[in-house]
Amino acid sequence: MLELVDVRSGYDSEEVLHGLSFSVPPGSVVAVVGSNGAGKTTTLKVISGLLGCHHGHVSVDGRRLSGSSTGEAVRAGVAHVPEGRQVFSNMTVRENLVLGAYAARRVSITSRLDAVIDVFPELVPRLGNYAGSLSGGQQQMLVIGRGLMSEPNYLLLDEPSLGLAPLVTKRIFEVVARLRREGKGVLLVEQNGRQALALAQQAFLLERGTITLTGSGEELLADPGVVERYLGVGTSKGSLDRQQDWTAALAGALVDDQAPEPANRRAIRK
């Protein structure tokens, strides 16, 4: 079980998450919906250790994370797939994938590659190509595949279908369903709220850093207020821009724990 217990966090000047508590059981999809700026991405950053919390904690399978490094979460079995499909453009698809395997420091990179290719056979003909040459959909598959290379038990997906064509989106959601069937816990932040909720065993509405509604995906879908106000809002441009500085930090964490920290990593202190 991935658990957040009364997590408060934010950035230098502002508390953004005001005491979040929820859990992601293995073999389930938990969806998060909420308007732009509600704190969805911030929640994922806290779980993966990109951002510290100044109150409360995150635990994975009963082990409390110190939140002091991104490598710690990866080793505990959490893979964060940030929004924005950030691949290393001038590395090949295979190199991008292999980068995701280093964190665990176990051998069997080949078998991990085989497992990822089994999930995304579309990548096979592109393994030797530069990642920058892939289509948006292929890049999304690649970043999810890179996350899977650490053999996570929990996957954090931030807006995986943003800007993708409906057929590719369908493919991504099929993969999410498959990963859940295989026993992974998936925390899914999605602008395609309807599809995410349709897939989710549990869901919650995040408003200004506070959970204001929880239920099954179906229950939230049946709530006219949720549908009217929060589904299909998309992500803000500013939010996408902000992702650029921490993808490198995440990737660095896959190699070792000495990744440079983004300037805003430190939690605010009150």
Ligand X SMILES: Nc1ncnc2c1ncn2[C@@H]1O[C@H](COP(=O)(O)OP(=O)(O)OP(=O)(O)O)[C@@H](O)[C@H]1O
Binding site for ligand X (CB under 6 A): 11, 16, 34, 36-42, 235-236, 239, 242, 264
Count how many residues are written for the chain: 270
Q: Yes or no: say if 102 and 250 are a contact pair by the CB < 8 Å rule.
A: no
CB neighbours of 74 closer than 8 A, spacing ≥ 6? 48, 103, 104, 150, 152, 253, 254
Residue 11 touches which of Mg ion, ligand X, none (CB < 5 to 8 A by kind)? ligand X
Cα–Cα distance between 86 and 136 in angstroms, integer?
10
Question: The tokens of 223 are what?
Answer: 């709530």
Of 94, 89, 168, 164, nearest to 126 by C-alpha is 94
Only one residue has tokens 């420091």, namely: 105
> Which of 169, 239 has the CB closer to Mg ion?
239
239 binds Mg ion (CB under 5 A): yes
Tell me which stretch binds Mg ion (CB under 5 A): 34-42, 63-71, 93-101, 115-123: 34-42
Cα–Cα distance between 173 and 202 in angstroms, integer?
16
> Which of 153, 192 has the CB closer to Mg ion?
192
> Which of 181, 237 has the CB closer to Mg ion?
237
Q: How far is the CB of 132 from ligand X (least distance, A)?
A: 24
Q: How far is the CB of 40 from Mg ion (least distance, A)?
A: 5
Query: Which of 41, 48, 161, 202 touches Mg ion by CB under 5 A?
Result: 41
**3-state SS class at 116:** helix
Residue 130 touches which of ligand X, Mg ion, none (CB < 5 to 8 A by kind)? none
Q: How far is the CB of 205 from Mg ion (least distance, A)?
A: 15
Q: How far is the CB of 239 from Mg ion (least distance, A)?
A: 5
How many chain residues bind Mg ion (CB under 5 A)? 3
> Which of 34, 137 has the CB closer to ligand X?
34
Q: H or E stretch including 138?
A: helix 136-148
> Which of 153, 191 has the CB closer to Mg ion?
191
226 alpha carbon, distance to own chain's centre: 22
